[in-house]
Amino acid sequence: MSIWGRFGDFISRVTAGAVSGVSDVVEAVRTAFEGDPELRRKVAFSIAMIALSAKMAKADGIVTQDEVRAFHEIFAVPQEQQRNVARLYDLAMTDTAGFEAYAERMARLCGSGAPNCQMLEDILDGLFHIAKADGYLHEREVAFLRRIAEIFVIDEGRFEAILARHAMTGPDDPYVVLGVTRDAPFDEIRARYRKLVAEGHPDRLIARGVPEEFVAIANDRIAAVNAAFEAIERGRVSA
């Protein structure tokens, strides 16, 4: 059974009971998939992306068709499972619990506690992908995402690098994208570039619990990292 089949069965079963919000769903993941950590990570990632997308939609007060399209670029949801995805999305939209409490639970479930947890960066990257879909990162969306990063124990430098990859106004600073200083030796920059490409490879994402259906996140990340390195390389050669 695909991740969506297992996800759909789980959401149908949980929401058929007495759940007061997404936090109850998160706690149910912990026990329902206790014997299968890999599947638990994949279901947890899917829930995090769907529910935090809904919370982010409330951050700027409007859900645009571009954001819906971007959502479906990341979520290749089979027709028969779209109702379950919509059910979770609507539950998160109407949940009175604040996004911070929910994000804290999700961080624990995804294995946070170590700075710059890679799977949690994947979630943040996906949220940026959706937020920028209308061609503009609203200041309330950036504030929302920055707070999510703090809860996920993603440090300021890593957050700024992710923000630079997704920035919609002005020229992106390739040095910020790669997380290196402007006076860094080129060998150091190249080593950093190769590390980021390796971390962002779709196989790496899948290995840490990101379902196969979400490789759009990896493709966007690698494209931005490649462009940043090429810009720096051109600048160093012409200098």
Residue 120 corresponds to which amino acid? L
* pLDDT > 90 in the chain, percent: 18
The predicted structure's pLDDT at residue 233: 92
Flag whether pLDDT at 118 surpasses 90.
no
Residue identified by tokens 């789980």 is: 10
DSSP, collapsed to helix, strand or coil, labels residue 35 as coil
Flag whether pLDDT at 156 surpasses 80.
yes
Residue identified by tokens 């209308």 is: 134
The predicted structure's pLDDT at residue 116: 46
* Comparison of pLDDT for 208 and 146, the residue scoring more: 146
User: Which among 65-69, 91-95, 177-181, 220-224 has the top mean pLDDT?
Assistant: 177-181
The predicted structure's pLDDT at residue 113: 47
Mean pLDDT of the chain: 80
**pLDDT tens for each residue of 11-39:** 888 877 767 677 778 778 878 887 887 78
The predicted structure's pLDDT at residue 146: 95
146 to 133, 137, 150: CA distances (angstroms): 18, 12, 6
Flag whether pLDDT at 164 surpasses 80.
yes
Cβ contacts of residue 211 below 8 Å, gap of 6+?
3, 42, 45, 46
Residue 29 and residue 9: Cα distance in Å, rounded? 12
Helices (H), 33-117: 37-59, 65-74, 82-94, 99-109
Flag whether pLDDT at 238 surpasses 80.
no
